[in-house]
Structure 1
């Protein structure tokens, strides 16, 4: 029996990973989070981490926060505990474009990748595009006003979170692969198209006006920094997702 630990086990991605691991059978799956009943851990301080990692062979690291530098601190604690416990495989979920898009959160994610690469542990890093849930958050935010002002030229490639979970589980049950092939959603959508899809789904009418925004960030986004069209292997579309989400 393989013992697999999942950080961020109650999060958007982590809960799907845990469901799939448990459904696959033959594994002890440990859900690690600050709210976990069995393995309560604070990755930012390391409290509870040694006990949670003891005996684990594989760690799937899904926990994340946009707080400046926090992911790096958490990764250092996790790597130290994994080395001490003799973990053979650390699997990390990252984001497509973190080396192209100048965001502080992305710079931190890139540094976490480097920490894992230099850790001496067997590792697999999977970069995925934005989840449908995040794309929906963008759409809602952009349509709160009577007129939707949308940055022009910005494109996303949203992917279903359960499809990312399925890939992570397959990678976790295999051997360390270094940098795995990226995972992108099935379609590239402009923000304008994404907003219009959302408006149709919720039955709202809003004028949608494009606005060209300056700066390095939006230049990188217009250049396709968040995209991986050569790895458009996801199946669930944003339209299908948002149709189901607004009906709940």
Structure 2
């Protein structure tokens, strides 16, 4: 069986990838800033990173941060090349090449680093996780009125399904960019927000606001969606039921 390093292996996605690979009998190393014995801040690199990748067959790069992703990827790729890693699997976001949003542009830059790394590589893009939408709606629902960007849709996907696909890719040969993984439904943000409010039993008026800028226009045009790749199975309502119980009247 392979020795596989999962960066961000204690996070929402990486933890599930590591669990799946271990269940399939692989030796898995979990790298994160605070996880022993491979506690590494990828933005700093150094000897601890070299130790983490030594003897590894495949790296699954799930680590991500609001700042420093390009620097982190550069350190990881350099260490992987030096260690003779055969396969780098990277998870990205649908639309990073179409939506001029700062975080997306950074993710696209990381993709380019992976493609130009000289390593065997596989790149999977996924739509937004159910968990992320709930986190956003929880923050927005703190105000008396829930403000949403007008005419924007989303296509949330179950994180466990993305983890399963990444684990499958990790044990295969480098495949380049593979087909996107999108959630089962393209929905308006308003319909998703109302489903969330029903699930948690809260009442909030929703106001859809048009926003300025190129990034908003790209989101409104669906640049972050994969309507031809509705391959996810679990719907947002099914996720909400598991997390919060049956929907409450509100």
The verdict on a shared fold, with TM-score over 0.5 as the criterion, is: yes
Residue 219 of structure 2 aligns to a residue whose secondary structure is helix
- Residues 198-217 of structure 1 mapped to structure 2, 5 A cutoff: 198-217=196-215
Residues 120-129 or 206-215, more deviating: 206-215
Residues 32-41 or 94-103, more deviating: 32-41
- Residues 80-99 of structure 1 mapped to structure 2, 5 A cutoff: 80-99=78-97
Query: Among residues 67, 70, 73, which one is paired with 1:72 in the alignment?
Result: 70
Equivalent in the alignment of 1:34: 33
Aligned Cα root-mean-square deviation (Å): 1.2
**In the TM superposition, what is the alpha-carbon distance from 1:95 to its structure 2 partner?**
0.3
Distance 1:149 1:78 in 2: 39
Residue 230 of structure 1 aligns to a residue whose secondary structure is coil
Residues 9-18 or 102-111, more deviating: 102-111
1:168-226 CA distance string (max 9 Å, x none):
00101110000010000001111100110011111112222222222212111110011
| Superposition misfits of 4+ residues, deviation over 3 angstroms | none
- Which residues of structure 2 form unaligned runs of 5+? none
**In the TM superposition, what is the alpha-carbon distance from 1:73 to its structure 2 partner?**
0.3
1:136-161 CA distance string (max 9 Å, x none):
11222222222222211111100000
Equivalent in the alignment of 1:222: 220
**In the TM superposition, what is the alpha-carbon distance from 1:116 to its structure 2 partner?**
0.9
1:78-125 CA distance string (max 9 Å, x none):
001111111000000000000111111111111111111111100000
**In the TM superposition, what is the alpha-carbon distance from 1:247 to its structure 2 partner?**
4.2
Equivalent in the alignment of 1:4: 4
TM-score by length of structure 2 reads 0.95
Distance 1:33 1:209 in 2: 39
Q: How many residues align?
A: 245
Residue 5 of structure 1 aligns to a residue whose secondary structure is strand
Distance 1:215 1:106 in 2: 15
- Which residues of structure 1 form unaligned runs of 5+? none
Residue 228 of structure 2 aligns to a residue whose secondary structure is helix
- Residues 93-172 of structure 1 mapped to structure 2, 5 A cutoff: 93-172=91-170
